[in-house]
Amino acid sequence: MTHHYPVGIRSLAISLPSIRRTNDYYRKKYPDLIAQAEQKSLARWFSFDGSIPSNEFDLEMMPYLTDPFRGTIQRWVLAPNESQLMLQCRTVKDGLAAAKLSLDDVDLMIVASVWPEKLGLGDAAFLARQLQLQGAAWNLDATCGSTLVALQSACAFVRAGEYRNILVVISCSYSHFVAEDDTASWFLSDGVGALVISPLESQQGVLGTKTIHTDRLCDLIYPTLKTDREGNPGLYMQVSKNAGQLTRETSVQFLRTCCEGALSAAGVTFEEINFFIFNTPTAWFARFCIRVLGIDPKRTIDLYPQFANIGPVLSIVNLYYAERLGKIQENDLVLVYGFGTAGAASASVMRWSKVALGPDPLQELDVLNKN
């Protein structure tokens, strides 16, 4: 049971890059890849590879195996004139404005990036310099499981009295590390999310968390140095040959262990949870979680069709729109789950507070495109 001093999310903000890329883009530009898709990386990752469907993940994946895009409809990609740092700055300013705070009110900024714009160094100091932040700033890495690990860390610092207001910045720029002619890029997006973590009203905030490492996914993806189509060298993500098997074998255990552990730590039951937030890295992941946990589909949200896989930003995006669409009310019990390759899997139970929201990026991008 978490020693409860009310700490949690005060505001949420998200930003998307300007390019919305539909499946037609790939059909027109890469017709040969479409024809050969089942021999390429995305299909190798999400297929049975001769094995028999054996668990809930397999059953929910089956309807998508005839689609070369594996259920992906659109994804968001950084334009040549956009950078991860640019989106981070915008998201931070939106999150602080929603919380009615200034940069001077921020005692600590925790930054997690998949992968950092400054490889080997992380983005925290560079973002702090750009913002002219006077408080502390450092990087945290638990791959796509970073969001809840950062939330857990921030709440612990505030609860301990080390800091009062902590800014958590989570970003993803897959398009810089997965070439668009690699079919794995077809289900990946870029984006940034920000959380302001502060003391809350009595009984609100994070009540319990369960975090585990994901060592069984250590060999799922790895960085490799290769040249792009123009002959420029770069560091790219490579999907291992047994990625599909590793994903399928671990998904159920990670989900159950973390969700049951978080509920136990919070002292509540599945039946008491009003709403569930899952990171949704595939088109079927929400339904997979629904099946494993035996919950009502109306008690969760699935925005994969709108956003595809934004890595660690997924949890923030799903929380943001659950609040914006009125699916979560103040004092509801909310369970959030996320996981990452060679990083962490984690779940948190929180009693929802009056969470302020930054601007809706979909509305802003619609206005931008119309103009």
Residues pairing with 265 in the sheet: none
pLDDT at 371: 44
Tokens at residue 181, please? Answer: 């002619």
What's the predicted TM-score (pTM) here? 0.96
Residues 314 and 174: their CA atoms lie apart, in Å, by: 13
Residues 23 and 28: their CA atoms lie apart, in Å, by: 9
User: What tens digit of pLDDT does each residue of 117-175 get?
Assistant: 888 899 999 999 999 999 999 999 999 999 999 999 999 999 999 999 999 999 999 99
pLDDT at 70: 98
Residue 367 banded pLDDT, cuts 50, 70, 90: low
- List, in order, residues 6 or more apart from 366 with CB less than 8 Å away: none
User: What tens digit of pLDDT does each residue of 216-257 get?
Assistant: 999 999 999 888 777 778 889 999 999 999 999 999 999 999
**Which amino acid belongs to residue 151?**
L
CA 259, 264, 266, 270 torsion: positive or negative?
positive
pLDDT at 120: 85
| Pick from 210, 211, 281, 259: nearest CA to 57 | 281
